Amino acid sequence: MNILLKSAKIVCPENKDLHLKKRDILIKNGIIEKIATSIETPSNTKEVDFKNLHVSLGWFDSGVSFGEPGHEERETIANGLTVAIKSGFTDIVLYPNTYPVPDTSSDVVFLKERSLGKSTNLYPLGTLTKNAEGVDLAELFDMKNAGAVGFYDFKQQIVNPNLLKIALLYAQNFEGLVFSHPQDIHIKGKGIVHEGVVSTRLGLKGIPALAEELQIARDLFILEYTGGKLHIPTISTAESVKLIANAKKKGLDVSCSVAIHNLVFTDETLEDFDTNFKVSPPLRTRQDSKALVKGLKDGTIDFVTSDHIPIDVEGKRVEFDNAMDGSIGLETAFGSLNNILGMEETISLLTKGRERFGLETPAIKEGEKACLTLFDPDGEHIFGVEDILSTSENSMFLGAQLKGNVYGVINNNKTSI
């Protein structure tokens, strides 16, 4: 694969010599051969000269669900990776949200093999416990050796604090990353949305912010005792940001992420009882959203995630109380973030996080493997059903105004452009 990118504005804050400079980029056999102000197009080379072409490192998402195995009607791995590619992502971490769950090394190998030969790299998470039942630890070491980049009982609380203690102690032997979902099921009870004025007015059972904050506080106390590497996915409250900021000041090895939809939407969107807005953790208040954005900007929150969770129509076209949690988000990740944070900050967030999972961060320099996302940061459009690439159509961004478009990716000596 030989490609010449013409007059591409490079967005790469860590390289001051190239950042926001227009350059031609010659790629031969998947390797960046030359970066210069002007390059003549060699023979047998595809020239790419898109309108307002911008180039960055390939984008990374730390939390994506598909469906295969077990829920292929929601999303197969093949189609899910196609969605990721067309949405600008060269690397994704796959949630263990399947049936059966991946709790052995052979399960992890299966997921890796199903993703071979694609422009987007797939990095599976294994479950923390056998069958994700929260009783006995799964084969963490074997799964790590098979390619698992972390361990997570998807969207389930680690109820037993001693189990988390043992997991953090054990995983230190092989630099394992332990996930803990931030929600106390006893405080949550039968709640389905944020507990507050809106839930009271709509007559929906609420989930107090305390359910998240109590769990995080407990987990951080355990981390301080054990050491190890803890990741808290998709935090959603202002107090959670404070708890994690204080833990980092103590020197604890903790990271966290936030779902993009928790930055954009609040519980006020629930007025129409649209089940696409039913997610876990729930949409919170405007004050929480502002605190989450601030936490991203000051580095307390380590990275964003689309929290892409396809749900088939049977799981959403039911009463709000009975609907499944989740919204797709890969297709709208860039456009929604760009809308609220601007291009440079958006790209900074979409390209960070690999190191936390033990992955190598690519570089835009001569001699390096080309791992690039091509995009136009300008232009606004309304996201509609026709823009959905996923098999499932459960997007809370339908009708939302997005900014910018993705042209495609170049990675693994392949391209989608």
Closest CA to 375 of 404, 340, 349, 352: 404
Q: Cα Rg for the chain, rounded, in angstroms?
A: 21
Catalytic residue, chosen from 24, 103, 184, 307, is 307
CB 58 within 8 A of CB 411: yes
Note if the pTM is more than 0.85. yes
Amino acid at 282: P
Q: Rounded CA gap, 402 and 406, in Å? A: 12
DSSP bridge pairs for 393: none
Concatenating the DSSP letter of every residue in 141-173 gives: HHHHHHT---B--TT-----HHHHHHHHHHHGG
Q: Rounded CA gap, 245 and 316, in Å? A: 36
Closest CA to 94 of 69, 72, 74, 65: 65
- Chain centre distance of CA 383: 20
pLDDT tens over the chain, length 417 residues: 899 999 999 999 888 899 999 999 999 999 999 999 999 999 999 999 999 999 999 999 999 999 999 999 999 999 999 999 999 999 999 999 999 999 999 999 999 999 999 999 999 999 999 999 999 999 999 999 999 999 999 999 999 999 999 999 999 999 999 999 999 999 999 999 999 999 999 999 999 999 999 999 999 999 999 999 999 999 999 999 999 999 999 999 999 999 999 999 999 999 999 999 999 999 999 999 999 999 999 999 999 999 999 999 999 999 999 999 999 999 999 999 999 999 999 999 999 999 999 999 999 999 999 999 999 999 999 999 999 999 999 999 999 999 999 999 999 999 998
Let me know if domain 58-357 sits in CATH 3.30.420.40: no
30-78 tens-digit pLDDT:
999 999 999 999 999 999 999 999 999 999 999 999 999 999 999 999 9
Q: Rounded CA gap, 256 and 300, in Å? A: 8
DSSP bridge pairs for 116: none
Q: Rounded CA gap, 369 and 389, in Å? A: 28
CB 393 within 8 A of CB 352: no
CB 44 within 8 A of CB 396: no
291-344 tens-digit pLDDT:
999 999 999 999 999 999 999 999 999 999 999 999 999 999 999 999 999 999
DSSP state of 100: S
* Domain ranges for the chain: 2-55+365-415, 58-357
Q: Is 307 a catalytic residue?
A: yes
Let me know if domain 2-55+365-415 sits in CATH 3.60.15.10: no
Q: Rounded CA gap, 373 and 411, in Å? A: 9
pLDDT of residue 1: 83
Mutual angle of helices 161-171 and 209-226, in 10-degree steps: 40
